[in-house]
Chain A
Amino acid sequence: MQNLNEHPFSKKRIEVSSSLHDMLMQAPALAKKEKRQTGFFAIVTILCLTLNLLYFSSRQEKLAEEELLETQYANFGSNLSI
């Protein structure tokens, strides 16, 4: 008669392979690398945002200037004589 009494979850445990053990030991180095990468990407993101903002604000100024030149006030004073 087959013995089915032992539950599949209460059987023997698996061992940690040496390659997995080595990888687990490298977690601190991996964490530092991840931290460096996150820092780098944060700086790049901030730089991109700053450049975008600078470009946007200079463009806005230019547009406002151009808009002003197109109005009736653009030639204000040009036909005045002393």
Chain B
Amino acid sequence: MAERPTFLLTQVFRCDDIQLTVSQEIDIQALQRGDVHAFEVLVIQYEKKVLNMCWYILQNKEEAEDATQDIFLTIYQSIPKFKGDAKLSTWIHRITLNKCLEHIRKAKRKKRFGIHLRIDPAFIDHTVDLNKNPEEALMEKERVKVFLEAVQQLSENQRIAYTLHHMDEFSYKEISESMNLSLSAIESLIFRAKQHLKATLNDSIKNNWI
């Protein structure tokens, strides 16, 4: 009998001071049969990572939440086609990136018709340390805004590779698998993104962040 492909999920529950760790398996075959419970386990494991990927790539909370809903709907509809050639996480990351690109293209089309999509102020607030004194916080907000605008000027692939690289959760290998590109292509994309940002940004930003 063929072995059932499964993935381990570790969920951490906090109950007063006791920390419980419960392991649950993602049963791919159950998912492919349309099992709702298996899907719920998958949602619990991946929702935060997918939302944050969308949030950092799209830089807009509403768009990121819309994209996340779209992604999980696509995952549920397409899981019967998942052959297990790649890891489940890689497959989910690929869907996430494709959906984010779709949203970016839609936003660009809207921009062409005169509706400008700004960087979400909540995204800037989120990345700025608000414990600093108001003047410093305001200055940092300005710097982050300039930096994010420069990142938005990058090509789609450069932007995604650079963003995932700086999200700390992705190795070069994971980025290359998710983007379906070679390792050297990813290195080159990140290098060119940094060169572009260095040419665009002022010294105080590029010396610290690039």
Residues of A that sit less than 8 Å from B by CB:
2, 4-17, 20-21, 23-25, 27-28, 30-31, 34
User: B48 near A15 (CB under 8 angstroms)?
Assistant: yes
Residues of B that sit less than 8 Å from A by CB:
34, 36, 39-40, 43, 47-48, 51-52, 55-56, 61, 65, 68-69, 72-73, 75-77, 126-129, 132, 136, 139-140, 143-144, 147-148, 163, 166-168, 204-205, 208-209
User: B144 near A25 (CB under 8 angstroms)?
Assistant: no
User: A27 near B126 (CB under 8 angstroms)?
Assistant: no
- A51 to B: closest C-beta gap in Å: 31
User: B39 near A27 (CB under 8 angstroms)?
Assistant: yes
**Interface hub of A14, A27, A30 (most chain B Cβ within 10 A):** A27
Which residues of chain A come closer than 8 Å to B163, judged between CB atoms? 9
A31 to B77 Cα, complex, angstroms: 7
In the complex, residue of chain B having the shortest beta-carbon distance to the beta carbon of A16: B47
User: B40 near A23 (CB under 8 angstroms)?
Assistant: no
User: B139 near A25 (CB under 8 angstroms)?
Assistant: no
A17 to B51 Cα, complex, angstroms: 10
A21 to B43 Cα, complex, angstroms: 8
Contact of B148 among A2, A8, A15, A30 (CB under 8 A): A8
Which residues of chain B come closer than 8 Å to A11, judged between CB atoms? 126-127
Which residues of chain B come closer than 8 Å to A16, judged between CB atoms? 47-48, 51
- A7 to B: closest C-beta gap in Å: 5
